[in-house]
Structure 1
Amino acid sequence: MAFIPCLAWVLVGYLSTYVVGAPNLSSFYPPLWEESPGQFSDYKVENGKYIIDPWVYNSRMGMYKILLSQTATYFAKFAPENEQNVLWGLPLQFGWQFRSGRSADPTRKTNCGYESEDHLCISADSWWTDINYFLCAIPFLSVVDAGIMGISPDEVTLLPPSKEQQRFCYNVSGCRSSHPQMMKQWNAFYQYLKSPSTDFDDILRYLWTAHTSSVEGSLGNFEDKLVYYSKPEADFGKSWCVFVNYLVASLYPPTLIRTYNFEKGLPSRVLLKTYIAPFIKDFNPIQNVLLLSLNGLRKLDESTGRSTDPTRKTNCGYESEDHLCISADSWWTDINYFLCAIPFLSAVDAGIMGISPDEVTLLPPPKDQQRFCYNVSGCRSSHPEMMKQWNAFYQYLKSPSTDFDDILRYLWTAHTSSVEGSLGNFEDKLVYYSKPEADFGKSWCVFVNYLVASLYPPTLIRTYNFEKGLPSRVLLKTYIAPFIKDFNPIQNVLLLSLNGLRKLDESTDSELLTLWETLMKTKTTRKLVLLLMETFFEIAS
């Protein structure tokens, strides 16, 4: 099941596109945008150099304001008033950090960043704003270096924090020396912006490559700062970094309105040790659900390893190597492709996404390209039944009167079309796995048929709790359930049960499934099965 990460994407899509009426763009600006410096002359000058203090909120925000202003000309062809400038994500994220208290001193040893005290102070002990420093100073100094600001590289200097000055860089030459890869990637972004012909997708590729260099180049340097936070907040920080990698892979456009609306779903304050999503009382439902989804996505990303290259001929998917890569040799993620691409493109085709069907294209893998489809028209042609069933699901959702059981019927009919329409195409991939893992894959597919017959509702919390019982990693050839030592009892029992169900189903030539489908035709038996499942996992938890 991939409902938790998919839910995160649905929320992103919903939040990012929700705008009512003709917007007044100034209402989307980050806090104190108007009061922040907007040109170099607003900063003090010493010895012919502009002196900027990035440890004061409006001073650092002013760097972003100048950056957005000076790059506006490159985005004028995409929308008026600089709204489509993809650099808006940087100041809006920094503004959210300030507004939510994440730029304040987490140690509480100083008053830095606290309301009614020194609330504009940016703490060098804040993990959030230390990472942000390299998403502000580096883009800013790189744009100076690229010649876009109209001043020479030696005319601007940033002030150091009151402590740990060696962790940062403060001018073009110093940052070139200490962080050459970051400066190189941001410079490449600006050089592409300056080219006579630019494509919006290519702008995003250059932006996210540069953004990734800043994040990956700074994360390891500030890991020690996470100890100043509660476990929920530290976990959220890690989850946020994982999620950003998915934004990178999708070429998410961090424009003004889209980013502003997305940030409505982010936690409005630093998380306390007692906070458990989705039950944080004064967080709104979207904040609770998004927080739970991001943490679930991180755990899924860290745990299973089923998106990695099972042949081990490449580094695709392996930790400390190319861990975000999804292998086209993975049986699991090849099947999942048709539970992601088809629902997604069908939603576009159904008019739910607010864009036309020809406005989105998926990239092919480096091999076996002919096994997949990449856009609405291509998937309609190669997988008409899948597209038809998913479209029927969305059309029913859009109807004025819907019933939850009928929603589930349409969903599972569409889900079944994706699975049955792709299983035979990837059976050859199972040879890359141990026998226990290959058997588990087959058992999982059989079990899903029983979920389908039961009209199991794969809602957020229910699915999250159920997935706790799934194997936490790829099974080795020596694994025998229920005797896998470091699997918990529920994982061992569930694995044994699923394999047993598959063998029983095969021995009865699927007559057992037929009997189950007959039993599940009444709402009473379906409710009873659901209650038994939930009771089992509640006791297990």
Structure 2
Amino acid sequence: GKAFAADKYYFDLDRWQAGGIISFSQTCFSEYWSTLPVIITNDEGDNVVDPWNFTHRMALGKYLIEHTGGEKIWGIGYSKHFFWGYIAQMDWQQRSGRFEDPSKWAAALNDGTPEAFLKGNISKKSWWGHMNLVFSVAVYCGAAEAGLVPAILLSDEFVEDDIGFQVCKKGWKRFFKTDFAAFLDAHNSIKKHKDDDALYRALWKAHTNTINAGMQHNLETQNLLPKEDRDVGLGWCNMVELLAATNWPLLSLESLLRFGSGYLPTLRLTGPETIQWMKENRPLEYTTIHSLYQLKDITNSTIHRACQFFARVSRWRFARNSLPRTLHVLTHGNPVQKCLALARVLTLALFPRSPLELSGIGLFAMSILTHKRLRN
């Protein structure tokens, strides 16, 4: 049997995935948030950070949340800050063992205990670790070069010299220096909601650029992954294109509490036997796995047309805010529920503007409606 068991988590995993919780103490962060190392101690630029340590990366995320606008903008406990969504992904990647050397996955399954979880080391052979590097350390370094937070020194000089890291850091610097700065300046204006939308458009642009650069510069570690887990990662990268098309605004802690963190696989996928175990023991995660496999195989032209469609659906804020529940039904619901959800989405779209757009959503809809049959 697998070592994983949900009851070994120090929080209610199922509730965290599904949403509907009301307290920070019920989140994945609660067990370690107050004990994260204080690594930013001054403004002199000599704060040394280990880029291959989970607690250091998480501490950078915590500092960004708490020092880029304050509670006046982000609310009590900074709960509206978008970076919560980023560090929730980091927590999932570490907790599921994806930051470990893939060659050791089959020998030691992560069980979700603090001993395994808080070891902290991130393998340089982990594709997930390299991809997260540019969504954590590079983000902080970009914000530092934009003058928002103190500079840091990296204990591994090869990270700073890496071309892919430099590209991503420059992209995040541009985001913080221009669009994020404009958001802070305009926050108190009557156009606040429009400013929020503009911020998220710029954020998703920086995000997709980072994905593309990260994938381009990490092919070697990508090839070290078992095919089953690699395809989940590549499918998730395509999923980001759809999220960007909707200008997805639900990255805050408030949104995670309400809608949940989702059903990403809590075990590393080392082979067909792991997939079968997920099917029998974690069915919602199993459905997500196969949805991501479908997205991994989707053609560029089809995903482009699907993005056009969802961009139309998401022109209204209320439609964007309802997307988590809509996508949950489209992924995990029965055929009748899926048809009803698709009907609502199509109504919001007010009919696609072109035959190409219609064919894109048609293919996307057919894959959703037949998904239950295919996975059985």
Residues 314-362 of structure 1: per-residue CA shift (max 9 Å, x gap): xxxxxxxxxx533xxxxxx79x95xx799x79xxxxxxxxxxx873489
Displacement, 1:214? 2.1
Q: Which runs of 5+ in 1 are unaligned?
A: 1-14, 308-323, 327-332, 346-356, 363-393, 398-403, 431-440, 446-450, 452-456, 466-537
Counterpart CA distance in 1 for 2:304 and 2:139 is 26
Cα distance, 1:242 vs. partner?
0.7
Residue in 2 aligned with 1:28? 27
1:245 and 1:282 map into 2 onto residues whose CA distance is: 30
Alignment correspondent of 1:227 = 223
Residue deviations 1:113-166, cap 9 Å, x none?
9786893211111100111111112211122222222x4x4xx20111xxxx64
**What is the aligned residue count?**
329
Aligned-partner Cα distance in 2 for 1:112–1:413: 42
Say whether 1:295 aligns with 2:293.
yes
Counterparts of 1:51-200 in structure 2 under 5 Å?
A: 51-73=48-70, 76-77=72-73, 79-108=75-104, 119-149=119-149, 151=150, 153=151, 156-160=152-156, 166=158, 168-169=159-160, 180-197=170-187, 198=192, 199-200=195-196
Matched, 1:243 2:259: no
Other-structure match for 2:3: none
Partners of 1:277 and 1:289 within 8 A in 2? no
Distance 1:100 1:191, change over 3 A: same
Q: Cα gap change, 1:283/1:361 in structure 2, threshold over 3 Å: closer, same or farther?
A: closer
Map of 2:269 onto structure 1? 271
Q: In 1, Cα distance between the equivalents of 2:109 and 2:69?
A: 31
| Aligned residue type for 1:194 | L
Q: 3-state SS of the aligned residue for 1:94?
A: helix
* 1:359 partnered with 2:329: no
Instruction: For 1:325, give the aligned amino acid.
Output: H
Q: Which amino acid aligns with 1:195?
A: D
Task: Report whether the alignment pairs 1:460 with 2:371.
Answer: yes
Larger radius of gyration: 1
* Equivalent AA in structure 1 for residue 46 of structure 2: K
- Residue 89 and residue 180 in structure 1: after superposition, are their counterparts in 2 closer, same or farther (change >3 A)? same
Structure 1 CA distance, aligned partners of 2:109 and 2:266?
A: 15
Contact 1:37 1:65 in 2 (8 A): no
Partner of 2:186, secondary structure, is: coil
- Compare relative contact order (CA 8 Å, sep 6+) and give the higher one, 1 or 2: 2
Matched residues in 2 for 1:413 and 1:244: separation?
20
Say if 1:176 and 1:71 are closer, same or farther in 2 by CA, change over 3 A.
Answer: same
Give aligned-pair identity as a percent. Answer: 20
1:94 is displaced (CA, Å) by 0.8
Pairs within 5 Å for 1:365-384: none
* Residues in 2 aligned to 1:17 and 1:235: alpha-carbon distance in whole angstroms: 21
Question: Bigger CA drift: 212-221 or 117-126?
Answer: 117-126
What's the secondary structure of 1:157's corresponding residue? strand
Aligned-partner residue type, residue 59 of structure 1:
H
**Gap change, CA 1:283 and 1:192, over 3 Å in 2:** farther
| Cα gap change, 1:194 to 1:105, in 2 (>3 Å) | same
What displacement does 1:184 show? 2.3
Q: Which amino acid aligns with 1:188?
A: T
Distance 1:414 1:209 in 2: 29
Instruction: Tell me which protein shows more helix as a share of its residues.
Output: 2
Q: Distance in 2 between matches of 1:135 and 1:241?
A: 13
Give the deviation of 1:221 after TM superposition.
Answer: 1.1
Rounded to whole Å, the distance in 2 between the matches of 1:178 and 1:251 is 20
Partner of 2:283: 285
Give the aligned residue type for 1:82.
Answer: Y
- Change in Cα spacing, 1:283 to 1:255, as seen in structure 2 (3 Å) is farther
| Aligned residue type for 2:318 | E
Q: Whole-Å Cα distance in 2 between the matches of residues 190 and 208 of structure 1? A: 12
Change (3 A) 1:101 1:358: closer
> Who is 1:312 aligned against?
none
2:202 matched to 1:206? yes
Following TM superposition, by how much is the alpha carbon of 1:422 offset from its aligned partner in structure 2, in angstroms? 6.2
Q: Which amino acid aligns with 1:58?
A: T
Specify whether residues 212 and 158 from structure 1 end up closer, same or farther in structure 2 by C-alpha distance, changes over 3 A only: same
Q: Deviations over 1:90-128 (max 9, x none)?
A: 21111111100011122339x999786893211111100
Structure 2 CA distance, aligned partners of 1:176 and 1:28?
33
1:412 & 1:247 partners in 2: Cα distance? 18
Contact 1:28/1:256 (<8 A) preserved = no
Once residues 251 and 228 of structure 1 are traced to their aligned partners in structure 2, the CA distance between those partners, rounded to angstroms, is: 32
Question: 1:180 is aligned with what amino acid?
Answer: K
Task: State the alpha-carbon separation in 2 of the partners of residues 63 and 269 from structure 1.
Answer: 26
Unaligned runs of 5+ in 2: 1-14
CA deviation after TM superposition for structure 1 residue 216, in Å: 1.6
Residue 66 of structure 1: CA displacement? 0.7
Q: Is the counterpart of residue 325 in structure 1 residue 304 in structure 2? A: yes
Letter in structure 1 aligned against 2:89: Q
Cα distance in 2 for partners of 1:76, 1:289 equals: 40
Change (3 A) 1:412 1:84: closer
Superposed displacement of residue 177, structure 1: 8.1
1:233 Cα deviation after fit? 0.5
Query: Structure 1 residues 176 and 229, CA, compared in 2 at 3 Å: closer, same or farther?
Result: closer
Checking the alignment, whether the CA contact within 8 Å between 1:89 and 1:259 is kept in structure 2 is: yes
TM-score (norm 1): 0.50
* Superposition pairs of residues 5-20 of structure 1, within 5 angstroms: 19-20=19-20
Residues 505-524 of structure 1 mapped to structure 2, 5 A cutoff: none
The equivalent of 2:8 in structure 1 is none
Measured in 1, the distance between the counterparts of 2:52 and 2:84 equals 20
Checking the alignment, whether the CA contact within 8 Å between 1:278 and 1:291 is kept in structure 2 is no
Offset at 1:277?
5.2
Q: 2:46 aligns with which of 42, 45, 49?
A: 49
**TM-score, normalized by length of structure 2?**
0.70
Answer yes or no: is the 8 Å Cα contact 2:146–2:174 preserved in 1. no
Shift of 1:32: 2.3
